[in-house]
Amino acid sequence: RTPPGSSGGGGAVERSHTPGPAGRAALEHASKLELSNQALLAELEERKRREEELVQEKKRMEMKHKIFERQRTKDLEELEKKKGQHELQMQAIQEEKKELERLREEVPKQGLAAAAAVGGAVGGSGGRGSRLAPLDRMATGMDKGGDSRGSVLRLGTRCRYESATYGWMPAIVKGYNESDGTYNLDVKPHVPSDKIAPPGDVAAAEAWPAGAMASYLSSSVDRWLPALVVSFNESDGTYNLDVRDHADIDRIRARSLGDATASRTDARRSTVDRQAGLGKQEVTQLGQQAAALMTQQRSRPSREEDGSREGADNKKAPYRLSDLEATASRPPADPSAPSAPPRWVNKGDVCFVREHGLVFIQSSVGRDGCYTVKVDDKKQFAVQTESMRAPKDAKFAWAPGTQVSYLSASVGKWIDAQVLSFNFANGTYNLDVRPEANPDNVRPR
């Protein structure tokens, strides 16, 4: 037996190895290096993550910048478009103003000669001449001989048809019947020309062509006048006619060949008669005012309150023709003076309703005291007479002779009145009961 502690067979004795101080220091240093390496790796991962977030944020900012630039470009284009429309409207207003000034200067030769004679009788020094009410431009259109160059609506022309059952409805011209002067539409054959009107909301390419024969409802003479289409205003959807610029489509109808000659003759005769009547009325008023001024001048030797009519030697200066013109626009005091035939606000006229602005009257007042009016082709409603007022725009002014009611401040109630004329300078009406009446105090009777 081998004694304890012996290796038996002479083998080496196995011993456990314990590191010394140097080994322990190396191990600690390796452990620190490993921890530092892990911290660096974690920091590297965090940097990568932040870089990715910054890249994504940059992409989002670039996308927002592109959207902003697109919106900014769109807003600028919209502003330019509105600016162009505003400039077109201003040009139209300036043209209409020039046309009104030109119409004011167009007075009958007889009226001018008579006014000059009255000015000489009162010792006047010339002045601006008589101030007659502006006339419609129908005479200008007739002098151009427009009807001889007019043509009926072409095949395929878009229009509106006034159906007795459904009201206004879109239609297309399919042909013209020379035998009875009617049109064949895609919705109905043999339609009278007075039931056909231009369409609304169309481009210039789809509008009625230049030279097309039409009829225009003039507010100044209260009748349909023969006209020719000159051009289409795409900015506001109106037409320039040879008798009226910027004519509303609701005041335009088609016209057939059969009534061209008769309508032109009647319109020319109406123009001549109206000019002669206005000239006679102006001469009558100026004569009466001249006599009154002469009597007043003889009966008032004392100094006037207004020294602007006196000379340096305190002698009264002679009256001028412009003194007569200051009262020429007022209604004549003599009830026997010439006046327009009475008429009532009716279909085709325009009025002002506070909630809707300018509206077009579609039918006369009914038994319930309401008018049928419309704002556009789709919106039509009934309105009480109490809510209607006279238009302030000279283009839609009610014609002389219109029977109205006037809200008198002196009596505090509505009284019956009649329109004598419209004042283009300040947009008021001369009534037989009140000169320069505010349109807000004038309504249909």
pLDDT digits (tens, 9 = 90+) for 216-271: 998 877 788 999 999 999 888 999 999 999 999 999 999 988 665 445 445 455 44
Q: What is the pLDDT of residue 287?
A: 52
Q: What is the pLDDT of residue 140?
A: 38
Tell me the average pLDDT across 380-395: 90
Mean pLDDT value across the chain: 76
DSSP conformation letters of 151-215: BPPPTT-EEEEEETTTEEEEEEEEEEETTTTEEEESS-SSB-GGGEE--SS--GGGSPPTTBEEE
What is the pTM for the complete model shown?
A: 0.33
pLDDT band at 161; cut points 50, 70, 90: very high
- Residue 366: pLDDT over 80: no
Tell me the average pLDDT across 62-76: 90
Q: What is the pLDDT of residue 347?
A: 86
Tell me the average pLDDT across 112-139: 42
What is the rounded distance in angstroms from the CA atom of residue 444 to the CA atom of residue 432? 15
Q: What is the pLDDT of residue 323?
A: 41
Tell me the average pLDDT across 275-295: 49
Q: What is the pLDDT of residue 221?
A: 76
Q: What is the pLDDT of residue 260?
A: 53
Could you tell me if residue 175 is left (phi over 0), alpha (psi between -120 and 50 degrees) or otherwise beta? Answer: left
- Residue 142: pLDDT over 80: no
Tell me the average pLDDT across 307-334: 40
- Residue 294: pLDDT over 60: no
The percentage of residues in the chain with a pLDDT greater than 70, rounded to a whole number, is 67
The percentage of residues in the chain with a pLDDT greater than 90, rounded to a whole number, is 37
- Residue 213: pLDDT over 80: yes
pLDDT band at 288; cut points 50, 70, 90: low
Decide if 119 contacts 283 (C-beta within 8 A): no
Q: Under DSSP, is residue 311 helix (H, G, I), strand (E, B) or coil? A: coil
Tell me the average pLDDT across 39-48: 93
- For residue 164, the tally of other CB atoms under 10 A from its CB is 6
Q: What is the pLDDT of residue 197?
A: 95
- Residue 127: pLDDT over 50: no
Q: Which residues of 23-45 are buried (b: 16+ CB within 10 A; e: fewer)?
A: eeeeeeeeeeeeeeeeeeeeeee
Q: Is 382 or 336 the better-scoring residue by pLDDT?
A: 382
pLDDT band at 363; cut points 50, 70, 90: confident
pLDDT band at 16; cut points 50, 70, 90: low
- Residue 158: pLDDT over 90: yes
What are the start-end ranges of the E strands in 80-166?
Answer: 158-163
What is the rounded distance in angstroms from the CA atom of residue 294 to the CA atom of residue 116? 16
What is the rounded distance in angstroms from the CA atom of residue 228 to the CA atom of residue 249? 13
pLDDT band at 191; cut points 50, 70, 90: very high
pLDDT digits (tens, 9 = 90+) for 402-423: 999 999 988 889 999 999 999 9
